[in-house]
Amino acid sequence: MKIGELVCGRTTTVVAVLLVVTAVAQAGPPLICHTIKIGQAKSLPWVSHSWNLSGRETYDIKNLTRDTLELLHAKMPVLARMETLRRATLYAGKGPEVAKELLTKLHARATTGNPDALAFFDFGYLAETFKQGLGKGQPNPAAGVDGYEWVKKAIGLRGQDPEMELAAALITLKGPESQHQEHVENAIAGAKADPLLAQNLAARFMGHRDETVSQMLARSTGPGGQSK
């Protein structure tokens, strides 16, 4: 399955509706199909008005690794990093060698020198977007990589970072439930001092008409952190 074949709308078959218990199953891979609002921050070029590539792109994916690494500098906000890595995954789906190169470079950056929270985050988040976004018929360089563990390491080094907490909450929509609930609570609490994060939490989740991101995240766990 290619990137463009991902279904990001609500599942409509009777059997699927009966089996659906989370927003992920209903709407598609959240790290890919849900765009992140980044304000005026720079990211990879994007001409589409939807979550996916439009087919009108002229961007040369040979430059993807270089451009992505240049964008992921120390002052780039985490929300912009999330959207940039989402876009990078969509572009990487057009070239297996490019995908491997990008992940390899981010892994090298995360494992060279002193521990760096942003480098940990970038590698972990890209690994998870690759696992959700690269088609089943394609080689996936992130296979076997636990990106969530890297994101948790980043949060541990970074300290309180509600934008990273949102990233972790999206990654853990299918569990672990208790950790997912903790990430949700931290993201929502931190949004009080982060207007752009608040905008993202108030946005409609992947096209759902009546459900915001914060509502979806809160709904995905029940009492005691158990998925509904």
Look at residue 10 in the predicted model and tell me its pLDDT.
41
Look at residue 34 in the predicted model and tell me its pLDDT.
92
Residue 151 near residue 15 (C-beta atoms within 8 A): no
Look at residue 136 in the predicted model and tell me its pLDDT.
77
Look at residue 182 in the predicted model and tell me its pLDDT.
96
Look at residue 58 in the predicted model and tell me its pLDDT.
94
Per-residue confidence in pLDDT tens, the chain, 228 aa = 444 444 475 433 222 222 223 344 445 789 999 999 999 999 999 998 889 998 889 999 999 999 999 999 999 999 999 999 999 999 999 999 999 999 999 999 999 999 999 999 999 999 999 999 997 777 899 999 999 999 999 999 999 899 999 999 999 998 899 999 999 999 999 999 999 999 999 999 876 667 899 988 887 655 444 444
